[in-house]
Amino acid sequence: MELLNHREESSFVLCDVEVSESELSIYQLCMKYVLQHVDPKCIEAEFGAYPNEIRGMLESVEDVMEQVGIPLEEIEEDEEMPTELAVIGK
């Protein structure tokens, strides 16, 4: 990932970044995994964002992926949760 530009907007910073195909796929999978496997109350407590905010971020990443022809990744519903993430959900 490379930072191309950034600017401050009221209470946050907007960044223009260059990311690879594999980075986008990893971001997409991580957000999907959290939404599918972590309790919504824990998402808010651990990540500081509501699940619907993360869903919006996920949709943005998937839109970019589709625009450039990167296949969307899928997570199996019954995939085992890594121990590190299992702790977040408790």
The ranges assigned to domains in the chain are 21-88
Q: What is the mean pLDDT of the chain?
A: 88
52-63 burial code (b ≥16 CB/10 A, e <16): eebeeebeebbe
pLDDT range class, residue 79, cuts 50, 70, 90: low
Q: Residue range 76-80: average pLDDT?
A: 64
Place of tokens 């930072």: 3
pTM: 0.78
Q: Residue range 41-59: average pLDDT?
A: 95
Residue 8: strand, helix, or coil: strand
pLDDT range class, residue 86, cuts 50, 70, 90: low
